[in-house]
């Protein structure tokens, strides 16, 4: 991908203004469009669910009607015996209602949940299918992996919410609303009209509240997303952060972003408090109005007390159902907004469409390739032309090599032949036919691509190779692996072909990944082979064998090689030298070398220094690779942890912690200690809030009894009670915001504190900790975002609810027992049933299908992989395969969703049944007690209302209790990090520091194994002395442990035995941070941060470098010229992991960063491997300048970098096999000489 990148420069910047505009103007789809993907069964389910919802909704108004009859039976009957007779008739109606409601609510919830699950799954699949269908430019410009996975896991949950149970909920509440008002008008139209005046304020308050809360919460999410990206970048590049001691910078950045999150949280709390306060105020005041005007109607219009209560409760339930419908409304709007972008994408037809079945399909192709007058610029940078009238022919069966400097457009030729992009003018022809005329999928099957950075999927080696051919047999896969020289190393792995390669293939070394990728291309058996630097990541020995394998498969195929390397280029039938988008020379190696001043000859001269040729044996070694296989076990644990998460245990493999690591609540409380005064004030507010329910109940029971008093008393009492209700509302309006605010502040501060502690601790862990999959950037990010936030529920929120509930319960019981202890006892026995009902109702309002996101994590991983490797998916026409794998991973979650729908439906139905059955029982017993002279009507109602109000209050807030089990395991997962002691802690100030560092390094009998792979020995008694100011080169095969030397020296790991000294002092006794500051690391795959080029270079000096220093460092690293040529110069964003720059450009920026650090010891890990000859020479000169007077350790295989070294050490079988100067070692004829000979044959062959 050499050049492509510097063109894609500002993908992030380009995206910004658009997203800002979108934020202001959120586009949505009409609600009915959400159901566009429903099938026949879905429509049937929706119909049955709707009927159930209407029936369920009507049950509440019917209940008020029966309740009115019950009140009249109590108050209007002449004798106590008649009371029992009338009340038992009313109680029987409650039982019938209970049975009807059970079936209605069961059908409602079950049908809507199941259809929601099914349709959402269908949308997810369609979205992924469409995404895989898009052309590569769509990914350059309009989206990125994070966004796609976010939409698939997050947005589909919102859509599912909007078309599943929330629709049933909305219909239910609409039915309650209509039913309530019909009954109210029938029972007393005049009182109804007066009471209607209370509805607009209720609705308005409800709507405003939900609006403000959702706005505040989205502000909080936006604020935290900045913090989340800091976490992702820091943990994702932890080796770079550790090496440059950038922990402080990362922590400061993270803390800064947490302040905004905290403020947003407090605003959300205030909004919630004001909203609830207002609602309660309007609600209680309407009772006041009912008492006063109802009394008037009884006196003037002949209403009964039962009529007044029926009207009051019917209107209240009707209008409250409007307020309760607002979560459904906000779910609809969230779903409509989420669906807009997804449906737009689903509708999007790409210009280059792999699903398009039209187009030419020949029997076969010869493989003649021609680019004719091609003009091309990348979509992300339309103004910078890569090709302007570019022409090149490649006859069938021949091998054409493209050479030229980094950024000249070599890889672009490959992208055009693969038809990742279409040229703006001119044409790309295969066998004389324009590429656009072929059916895309068919022509791509004829083309095999092996790129410089091979992309593997998160599955086994076998599955990765199988991407090359649909339905490949194990024998074919084996044969391909053998051809690619991959079978040797695969055979050594414990699980062989079934070894998991990890995310992006991280469990394998570069060379191993490359061989798996070559095996995949071999299995495809293409007519045209595109090799983009295909052997660059192999050591000499493997390269020779892979090169032979490639030579074998190149026979009779048209092959295009993008390379800088003599070995691969020499034998090519034709070599094209590309310079600034033009072919400046063309011919065979022999022809081109005849012109000593030609461009090719100059390139050769630049390369001639390097008899050892470029061999960037990705030495994040087979060893580290080995590290890595070690991670298979952890890979399994990762998948396990994912499945555990799916089962609702909370995020990121948390199970392993919570079992062993229970966090005592007092510890969290201690963390909240600075907020004690705030918590006390919150507690007082919570007590007052809790007492409002029982007081309200007392007032209602009084109100019922005054309706049956003589008119003159009724007139006087009604005014007094009305004012009392209003007073109660005012208290609530003041107290509610206070409670929310105080607990919001305390909770917000706690979350901020926990996040800060956890991040600080994580970032200071030893590097081997991050080798484990459950400590990946994603897993730690999840813990910091959701788990830390969940922990607050255990302290402030839990305390507030507990106090409020106790106040409600004590108040309710006191009033009930004072009124009539016998009935109170009976009600108390049945109270758990009422509480259960309240809890299920509240859960229903919140939604049963909340954790769908977790269930789909494994499926999301498949999508994540495919989208992140879209070029590879496109190249291997693997869209169908990815979809099959995705559907397979979705089957489990869909079944779980359906099961959950059925269970939720049954429990919802039972809860309604119990509620009405308890009412029937309570009133019947009350009537019996009156008959026995043990109670009065007022007392019966006081007991009923006091206990049912208390139960309602407790259950609503009690519904937040189940979260505490989740919160406990969340807190455990966070504290597991906070309590872990880092074995190599850069924040530890203790330890030795030297006044002056000479740079004398000694490895003394060092033995080492990677912690994740304890059964493979890397070093066995290794001894090596590196003199101050000298340059030592480490050579050896891929996997011999060269890079491990650098990792041990920087104390990423500690040796198992032996010691490493610096200037005679053991490095384990030194201060870690100080030690790392003495070393400058330039690694083979440099990690850049998603920031400007300027910030990336300044990082070398922990961020405080002057402009002049930055430019000087860039000039020294030969980066200044290319940076200046970019539109935004040093302010160009480098993109995620530096993706907007070519390999060579990234490398130069990293070199500048190391130079900025001005270290005593320089560690160069294959530092010039990604550069073309010309840049490399200049960078090599720059490095030579930087290396003066510094102790330098080079990990390389290349003569150019090694020849001049003061000492060359050959690492083999865990020891230094031999060491000495270049000439001396050559004359000795040992391991080094044979390595050189291998390279020499590799370069001349």
pLDDT digit string, tens, across residues 681-702 = 999 999 998 898 899 888 888 8
pLDDT at 838: 65
Q: Where are the alpha helices (DSSP H) in 134-246?
A: 136-141, 145-150, 156-163, 165-196, 199-236, 238-243
What is the per-residue pLDDT across 360-382, written as a single tens digit (0 to 9) for each?
A: 888 888 889 999 999 999 888 88
pLDDT digits (tens, 9 = 90+) for 1022-1078: 899 988 888 898 888 777 788 888 889 988 889 999 999 998 889 888 888 888 888
Can you give the pLDDT at residue 107?
A: 93
Q: How far apart are CA 813 and CA 952, in angstroms?
A: 13
pLDDT of residue 410: 85
Average pLDDT over residues 408-431: 90
For residue 265, what are the β-bridge partners?
A: none
Question: pLDDT tens for residues 380-407?
Answer: 888 888 888 889 999 988 989 998 877 7
Which range among 267-276, 620-629, 1202-1211 shows the weakest confidence by mean pLDDT?
A: 620-629
Q: Say whether pLDDT at 27 is over 70.
A: yes
Q: Is the pLDDT of residue 1235 over 70?
A: yes
Q: Is the pLDDT of residue 613 over 60?
A: no
Instruction: Work out the pLDDT band at 150, boundaries 50, 70, 90.
Output: confident
Q: Per-residue pLDDT averaged across 249-269, rounded? A: 86
Among 45-49, 329-333, 431-435, the range with the most confident prediction by mean pLDDT is 45-49
Q: Comparing 326 with 74, which gets the higher pLDDT?
A: 74
Residue 9 pLDDT exceeds 70: no
DSSP annotation of 1134:
-
Residue 985's pLDDT is 82
CA separation for the pair 863, 342 (Å, rounded)? 15
pLDDT grade for 612, boundaries at 50, 70 and 90: very low
Residue 1171 confidence class, pLDDT cut points 50, 70, 90:
low
pLDDT at 147 over 80: no
Q: 1066 pairs with which residues across the strands? A: 1061
Q: Which domains does the chain have, with CATH numbers?
A: 38-348+659-979 (1.20.1560.10), 369-622 (3.40.50.300), 988-1078+1195-1245 (3.40.50.300)
**55-64, 886-895, 1140-1149, 1153-1162: segment of lowest average pLDDT:** 1140-1149
Alpha helices in 1019-1085 (DSSP H): 1042-1049, 1072-1077
Q: Which of 588, 53, 120, 572 is nearest to 331 (CA)?
A: 120
Tell me the pLDDT of the chain averaged across its residues: 80
Calpha distance 1230→663 (Å, rounded): 60
What pLDDT band is residue 580 in, cutting at 50, 70 and 90?
confident
pLDDT of the residue at 159: 87
CA geometry: angle at 1123 spanning 1118 and 1125, to 5°? 115
pLDDT score of 851: 56
Q: Is the pLDDT of residue 540 over 50?
A: yes
Of 55-69, 158-172, 1188-1202, the range with the lowest mean pLDDT is 1188-1202
Question: Who contacts 600 (Cβ-Cβ below 8 Å, separation ≥6)?
Answer: 403, 575, 577, 585, 587, 592, 593
The whole-angstrom separation of Cα 783 and Cα 769 is: 16
Is 170 a residue whose pLDDT tops 90?
yes
Ranked by mean pLDDT, the top range of 421-425, 780-784, 1140-1144, 1174-1178 is 421-425
pLDDT exceeds 90 at position 104:
yes
**In this predicted structure, what is the pLDDT of residue 158?**
83
Residue 891 pLDDT more than 80?
A: yes
What is the enclosing helix (H) or strand (E) of 1219?
A: strand 1215-1220
**The pLDDT value given to residue 428:** 93
**Model confidence, pTM:** 0.64
pLDDT at 659: 36
- The answer on pLDDT for 52 being more than 90 is yes
d(CA 222, CA 229) in angstroms, rounded, equals: 11
- Which range (330-339, 412-421, 627-636) has the least confidence? 627-636
pLDDT: is 1199 or 1188 the higher one? 1188
Q: What is the per-residue pLDDT for 766?
A: 86
Q: Give the number of other Cβ atoms within 10 Å of residue 83's Cβ.
A: 22
Report whether 1096 contacts 1153 (CB < 8 A): yes
Q: How far apart are CA 525 and CA 570, in angstroms?
A: 24
Mean pLDDT of 196-218: 79
Contact 54, 105 (CB under 8 A): no
Higher pLDDT, 1132 or 857: 1132
Is the pLDDT reported for residue 49 higher than 90?
yes
Residue 171 pLDDT more than 90?
A: yes
């Amino acid at each position: 991908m050499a050049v492509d990148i510097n063109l894609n420069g500002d993908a992030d910047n380009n995206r910004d203004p658009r997203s800002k505009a979108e934020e202001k103007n959120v586009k949505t789809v009409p609600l009915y469009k959400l159901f566009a993907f429903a099938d026949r069964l879905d429509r049937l389910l929706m119909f049955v669910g709707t009927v159930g919802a209407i029936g369920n909704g009507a049950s509440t108004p019917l209940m008020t009607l029966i309740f009115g009859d019950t009140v009249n039976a109590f108050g209007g009957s002449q004798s106590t015996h008649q009371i029992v007779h009338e009340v038992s008739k009313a109680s029987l109606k409650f039982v019938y209602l209970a049975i009807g409601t059970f079936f209605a609510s069961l059908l409602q919830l079950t049908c809507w949940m199941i259809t929601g699950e099914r349709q959402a799954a269908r949308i997810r699949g369609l979205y992924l299918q469409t995404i895989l269908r898009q052309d590569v430019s769509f990914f350059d410009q309009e989206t990125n992996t994070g966004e796609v996975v976010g939409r698939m896991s997050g947005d589909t949950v919102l859509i599912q919410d909007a078309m599943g149970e929330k629709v049933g909920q909305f219909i239910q509440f609409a039915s309650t609303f209509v039913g309530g008002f019909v009954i109210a008008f029938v029972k007393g139209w005049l009182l109804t009209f007066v009471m209607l005046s209370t509805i607009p304020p209720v609705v308005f308050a409800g709507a405003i509240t939900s609006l403000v809360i959702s706005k505040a919460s989205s502000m909080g999410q936006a604020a935290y997303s900045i913090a989340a990206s800091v976490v992702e970048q820091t943990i994702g590049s932890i080796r770079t952060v550790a090496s440059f001691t950038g922990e402080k910078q990362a922590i400061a950045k993270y803390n800064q972003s947490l302040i905004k999150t905290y403020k947003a949280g407090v605003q959300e709390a205030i909004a919630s408090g004001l909203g609830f306060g207002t609602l309660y105020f309007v609600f209680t005041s309407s009772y006041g109005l009912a008492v006063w005007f109802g009394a008037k109607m009884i006196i003037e219009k002949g209403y009964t007390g039962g009529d007044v209560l029926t009207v009051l409760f019917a209107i209240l339930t009707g209008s409250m159902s409007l307020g309760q419908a607002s979560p459904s409304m906000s779910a609809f709007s969230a779903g409509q907004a989420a669906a807009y972008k997804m449906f737009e994408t689903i509708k999007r037809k790409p210009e280059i469409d792999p699903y398009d079945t039209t187009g030419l399909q020949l029997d076969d192709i010869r493989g003649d390739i021609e680019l004719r007058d091609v003009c091309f610029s990348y979509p992300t940078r339309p103004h910078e032309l890569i090709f302007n009238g570019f022409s090149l022919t490649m006859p069938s069966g021949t091998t054409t090599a493209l050479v030229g400097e980094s950024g000249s457009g070599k890889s672009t030729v490959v992208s055009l032949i693969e038809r990742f992009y279409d040229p703006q003018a001119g044409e790309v022809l295969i066998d004389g036919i324009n590429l656009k005329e072929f059916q895309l999928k068919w022509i791509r099957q004829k083309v095999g691509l092996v790129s410089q950075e091979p992309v593997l999927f998160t599955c086994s080696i076998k599955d990765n190779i199988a991407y090359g051919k649909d339905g490949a047999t194990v024998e074919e896969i084996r044969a391909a692996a053998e051809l690619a020289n991959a079978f040797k190393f695969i055979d050594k792995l414990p699980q062989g072909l079934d070894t998991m390669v990890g995310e992006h293939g991280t469990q394998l070394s570069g060379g191993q990944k490359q061989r798996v990728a070559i095996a995949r291309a071999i299995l495809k058996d293409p007519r045209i082979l595109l090799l983009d630097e295909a052997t660059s990541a192999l050591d000499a020995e493997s390269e020779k064998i892979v090169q032979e394998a490639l030579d074998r498969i190149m026979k009779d195929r048209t092959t295009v090689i993008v390379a800088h390397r003599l070995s691969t280029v020499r034998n090519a039938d034709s070599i094209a030298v590309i310079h600034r988008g033009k072919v400046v020379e063309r011919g065979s190696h022999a022809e081109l070398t005849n012109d000593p001043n030609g461009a090719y000859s100059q390139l050769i001269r630049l390369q001639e220094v390097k008899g050892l040729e470029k061999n960037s044996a990705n030495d994040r070694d087979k060893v580290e690779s080995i590290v890595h296989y070690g991670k298979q076990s952890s890979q399994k644990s990762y998948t396990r942890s994912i499945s555990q998460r799916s089962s609702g245990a909370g995020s990121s493999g948390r199970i392993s912690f919570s079992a062993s690591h229970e966090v005592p609540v007092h510890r969290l409380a201690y963390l909240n200690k600075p907020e004690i005064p705030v918590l006390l004030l919150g507690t007082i507010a919570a007590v007052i809030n809790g007492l409002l329910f029982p007081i309200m109940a007392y007032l209602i029971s009084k109100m019922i009894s005054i309706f049956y008093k003589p008119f003159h008393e009724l007139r006087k009492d009604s005014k007094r009670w009305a004012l009392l209700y209003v007073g109660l509302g005012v208290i609530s309006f003041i107290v509610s915001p206070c409670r929310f605010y105080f607990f919001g502040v305390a909770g917000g501060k706690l979350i901020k504190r926990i996040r800060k502690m956890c991040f600080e601790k994580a970032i200071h862990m030893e590097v081997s900790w991050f080798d484990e999959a459950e400590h990946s950037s994603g897993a730690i990010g999840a813990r910091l975002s959701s788990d830390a936030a969940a922990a607050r529920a255990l302290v402030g929120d839990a305390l507030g609810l507990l106090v409020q509930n106790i106040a409600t319960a004590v108040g309710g019981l006191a009033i009930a027992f004072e009124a009539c202890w016998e009935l109170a006892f009976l009600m108390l026995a049945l109270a758990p049933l009422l509480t259960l009902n309240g809890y299920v109702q509240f859960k229903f309002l919140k939604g049963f299908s909340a954790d769908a996101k977790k269930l789909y994590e494994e499926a999301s991983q498949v999508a994540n992989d495919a989208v992140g490797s879209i070029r590879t998916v496109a190249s291997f026409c693997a869209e169908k395969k990815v979809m099959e794998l995705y559907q397979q991973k979705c089957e489990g979650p869909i079944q779980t969703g359906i099961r959950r729908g059925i269970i939720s439906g049954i429990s919802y139905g039972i809860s309604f049944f119990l509620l009405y059955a308890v009412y029937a029982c309570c009133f019947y017993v009350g009537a019996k007690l009156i008959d026995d002279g043990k109670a009065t009507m007022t007392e019966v109602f006081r007991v009923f209302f006091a206990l049912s109000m208390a139960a309602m209050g407790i259950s609503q807030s009690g519904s937040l209790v189940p979260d505490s089990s989740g919160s406990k395991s969340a807190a455990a997962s966070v504290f597991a990090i906070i309590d872990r002691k880092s074995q190599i802690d850069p924040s530890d100030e203790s330890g030795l520091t030297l006044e002056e560092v000479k740079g004398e390094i000694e490895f003394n009998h060092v033995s080492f194994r990677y912690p994740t792979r304890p059964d493979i020995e890397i070093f066995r008694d290794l001894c090596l002395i590196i003199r101050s100011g000298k340059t030592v080169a480490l050579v050896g095969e891929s996997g011999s442990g060269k890079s491990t030397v650098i990792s041990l020296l920087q104390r990423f790991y500690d040796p198992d035995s032996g010691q490493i000294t610096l200037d005679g002092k053991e490095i384990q006794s030194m201060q870690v941070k100080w030690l790392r500051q003495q070393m400058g690391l330039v690694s083979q795959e440099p990690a850049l941060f998603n920031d400007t080029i300027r910030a990336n270079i300044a990082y070398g000096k922990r961020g405080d470098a002057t402009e002049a220093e930055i430019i000087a460092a860039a000039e020294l690293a030969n980066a200044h010229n290319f940076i200046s040529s970019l539109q935004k110069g040093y302010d160009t964003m480098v993109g995620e992991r530096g993706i907007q720059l070519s390999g060579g450009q990234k490398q130069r920026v990293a070199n500048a960063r190391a130079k900025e650090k001005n270290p005593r010891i320089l560690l160069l890990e294959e530092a010039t491997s990604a550069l073309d000859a010309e840049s490399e020479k200049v960078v090599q000169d720059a490095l030579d300048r930087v290396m003066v007077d510094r102790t330098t350790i080079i990990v390389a295989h290349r003569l150019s970098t090694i020849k001049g070294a003061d000492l060359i050490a050959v690492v083999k079988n865990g020891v230094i096999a031999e060491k000495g100067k270049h000439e001396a070692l050559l004359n000795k004829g040992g391991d080094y000489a044979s390595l050189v000979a291998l390279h020499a044959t590799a370069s001349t062959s």
